[in-house]
């Protein structure tokens, strides 16, 4: 269908999780907008939705968004 790349990606991720009977997964969602190099948390009710991208030196150089709203999800339909 024409659901879009985000929706189709989430559906694919959860389909693969369901196929993997050897592992347990916990999924969570953050939804941000990046515009003019400003990152905004789209799930917050805060008057200041801007978040900063940070390096996580304890996690092999991964990046994260401290303070960004994180919502646990159990299926593509919850996203």
pLDDT in tens, 38-79: 999 999 998 889 999 999 888 887 999 999 999 999 999 898
pLDDT of 9 strictly over 90: yes
| Helix (H) / strand (E) containing 51 | strand 50-51
C-alpha distance from residue 60 to each of 40, 49, 57, 70, 73 (Å): 25, 27, 6, 21, 25
Residue 1 pLDDT: 62
Of all helices (H) and strands (E), which one includes residue 68? none
* Spatial contact of 17 and 25, defined as CB atoms under 8 Å apart: yes
Question: pTM (2 decimals)?
Answer: 0.76
């Amino acid at each position: 269908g024409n659901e879009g790349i985000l929706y189709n990606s989430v559906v694919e991720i959860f389909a693969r999780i369901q196929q993997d009977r050897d592992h347990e997964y916990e999924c969570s969602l953050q939804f941000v907008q990046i515009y003019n190099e400003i990152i905004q948390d789209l799930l917050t009710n805060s008057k200041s939705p801007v978040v900063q991208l940070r390096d996580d030196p304890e996690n092999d150089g991964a990046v994260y968004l401290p303070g960004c709203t994180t919502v646990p999800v159990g299926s593509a339909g919850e996203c």
